[in-house]
Amino acid sequence: MNIKENIRIAIFSIRTNLLRSLLTMLGIIIGVSSVIAIITVGYAGRDYVVGMIKEMGSSSSVSITINQNTATPSDYITTADIERIKEIDTVEYVSPTSISIGNIASSEKDGIGFAVGGTADLNHIMGAQCTYGRFFTADEVESARSVAIIDTASATTLFGYENVIGQKVEYSYNGNSMTFKIIGVMDLLAMFGGNTDDLMTSMQAMGGMQDMTSGMILIPATASAKLMDAQDRYDSCYIMTYEDDQLDAAGEEAVNILKARHNNFDRQVYVATNMASLVELLDAVISIFTLFIAAVSGISLVVGGIGVMNIMFVSVTERTREIGIRKALGARTSTILFQFLTESVILCMVGGMIGLVLGVSGALLVSSLMKVPVTIKISTILIAVGFSSAIGIFFGIYPAKRAAQMPPIEALRRM
């Protein structure tokens, strides 16, 4: 008997007992659909998050921060430190940063303000582009000009529209105030890897002012230092090298320079973090977690396989007469074996294809709700077909072998 005939008989047997076959497939359908959906959504989410971080540019930089628990006022990063770090051969850009939370006011509204200080190099390090206007220049930073870049959502909140170039905001911190002219508008929180609404909501909640207006601006580091009464004193900096594989060495050298200049080798004051390594770690963690959840979901495939084995035993028992007649007429053991094995594989493959359709549909539905782009890969289809076929062979071979090895006399005696 050829393969085509085996397939015809298998399909006939499945159609004859359609309800029983569908119930048998249920475990395979659930297992395959859940595994496919989890893998597809998991990897789509990973690609989306990692891609978003890489697009911001900050993934190709080293962040050096001050350990607030061990640092003294003399340990903070200065402009002279930044200039010395710039002399490292592999360093292309470096920018100090400072952060403060105060009050912000426009001609229309006022509320909680979040200000980040940086230099012109920060534009290159973060890879950000202004939606409107421009970034501040090195001359504006050096002269501590009162210019600012405002977050897109903050512009809408404070002024009622996005393109607020030329407008002014007043920022106050610890009793000091400065009026800044807006020269640029961009998604600042996206630039630093966050969400504006979430940050502002957290700030408002901390102050017990959920209904209060909030806003975020990016200003020259020198202007920020004036506001914070901390002339030439910064608690962190970002470094960008010419090549990504130079980041670790540049970060280590920068830390050693800071330790030597501030004479604090005896204390752990500076922490260098390779943002690229964090992205790789995030990628690995999401991938491992996705595979783990998919493996747990795949347990249902084993349960489905046991169901297939059980129903194949039932089929062998029901078709004892057929087996006896065929063996009496000269059918070989291998022919009987492949007949029942084909039925088992087709049963699982049909379940696998149904599971594939349901899994892909579920993945597309979840991705649309999460607004994450999803791509159905060929490997995903191969996983569905391969898993279902393997289950069919593994759990079908014993019942098929039992049917093939049945003595013709015993089979005919049961007629």
pLDDT of the residue at 258: 93
pLDDT digits (tens, 9 = 90+) for 350-376: 888 888 888 888 888 887 887 777 777
Please report, rounded to a whole number, the percentage of residues in the chain having pLDDT higher than 70: 84
Task: Tell me the two tokens of residue 348.
Answer: 């699982």
Tokens, residue 386: 């391969």
Average pLDDT over residues 257-270: 90
63 located within any domain: no
Tell whether 263 and 290 lie within a shared domain: no
Q: Which of 268, 293, 315 is the last residue of a domain?
A: 268
pLDDT at 415 over 70: no
SS3 assignment, position 334: helix
Write down the pLDDT at residue 13: 76
Contact criterion met (CB below 8 Å) for 67 and 240 = no
φ, ψ for residue 310, nearest 5 deg: -65, -45
State the Cα–Cα distance between residues 188 and 130, nearest whole angstrom. 9
Nearest residue to 279 via CA among 244, 237, 235, 242: 244
The pLDDT value given to residue 196: 46
Q: What is the pTM of this model?
A: 0.58
Q: What is the mean pLDDT of the chain?
A: 80
Domain range holding 32? Answer: 3-52+284-413
383 located within any domain: yes
pLDDT band at 414 (very low <50, low <70, confident <90, very high): low
Query: Are 182 and 239 in a shared domain?
Result: yes
Q: Say yes or no: 301 and 257 in one domain.
A: no
Structure tokens at 242: 């010419």
Q: Mean pLDDT throughout 236-245?
A: 87
Residues 259 and 300 in one domain: no
User: Degrees (nearest 5) of the Cα angle 46, 48, 49?
Assistant: 70
User: Same domain, yes or no, for 306 and 246?
Assistant: no
pLDDT tens track for 88-103: 999 999 999 888 888 9
Examine the fold and report which residue of 216, 241, 268 is the final residue of a domain before the chain moves on: 268
d(CA 305, CA 388): 9
Is the domain of 224 the same as that of 123?
yes
pLDDT (tens digit, 9 = 90+) per residue, 276-327? Answer: 666 666 677 777 777 777 777 777 777 778 888 877 777 777 777 777 777 7
**130-154 pLDDT, tens digit each:** 889 999 999 999 898 999 999 998 8
pLDDT in tens, 7-39: 777 777 777 777 877 887 888 888 888 888 888
Asked, for residue 57, whether it belongs to a domain, the answer is: no
Please tell me whether residues 240 and 302 are part of one structural domain: no
- For residues 25 and 85, membership in a common domain is answered with no
Between residues 176 and 327, the one the model is more confident about: 176
Token couple for 116 = 């980040």
Query: Using CB atoms within 10 A of its CB, is residue 278 exposed (0-12), middle (13-18) or buried (19+)?
Result: middle
**Quick one: pLDDT at residue 201?**
53
Do 223 and 182 fall within a single domain?
A: yes
In this structure, of 217-221, 223-227, 318-322, the range with the lowest mean pLDDT score is: 318-322
Of 241, 268, 295, which residue is a domain's last? 268
Number of domains in the chain: 2
Residues 291, 404: one domain?
yes
Residues 255 and 307 in one domain: no
Do residues 165 and 255 both lie within one domain? yes
